[in-house]
Amino acid sequence: MTTPTNGDTVTIDYVLKRGDGEQVGTTAQSGPQDVQLGAGQIFPQIEAALTDMKVGDEQSVSIPCDSAFGQRQDALVVDIPRENLPPEPAPQPGMALQAQSPDGQPMTLYVVEVGETAVKADGNHPLAGEDLTFDITLRDIKQAA
């Protein structure tokens, strides 16, 4: 059996867990994921692990928060006046809002609290500040042409 190399497309299943072991994502509902190695589609630590695996192999890959989504930044939690939001749909905790960062880049904010006059939104990735573990299973290798 062969192992995948840069340019190959691999099919993987994974279970994503926080550092405390809580499962926060999986391919169980969506089905296996195809990833082209070397295309920057997944964390480099996972790509490196996959290049040592054969079809059917399983491996756990730990990624510290600084190499995943970084530390949480309090400055990315902002209050948005309700009049600056469209009236519909009504804001709800967990709702994603699209905004522009000060440098003009698009960013996603997640509503964390809804008040009478303002909405508190968080621009941190939901997994910022978390060490992550991916339990991956290599299902298939499609070698690059």
Residues 89-132: pLDDT tens digits?
889 999 999 888 878 889 899 999 999 999 999 999 989 999 99
Domain assignment present for 21: yes
Residue pLDDT, tens place only, 78-87: 999 998 888 8
Q: Does 58 lie in the same domain as 29?
A: yes
Looking up tokens 């609290």 gives: 113
Average pLDDT value for residue range 42-57: 96
Q: Is the pLDDT of residue 145 over 80?
A: no
Helices H, strands E: what count in the chain? 1, 9
CB 134 within 8 A of CB 15: yes
CB atoms within 10 A of CB 144: 12
What range does the domain containing 136 cover?
9-69+128-142
The distance from CA 80 to its chain's CA centroid, rounded to whole angstroms, is 25
Residue 129 CB coordination number (10 Å): 17
Domains: count for the chain: 2
Confidence band for 1, pLDDT divided at 50, 70 and 90: low
In a domain, 4, yes or no: no
CATH number at residue 97: 2.40.10.330
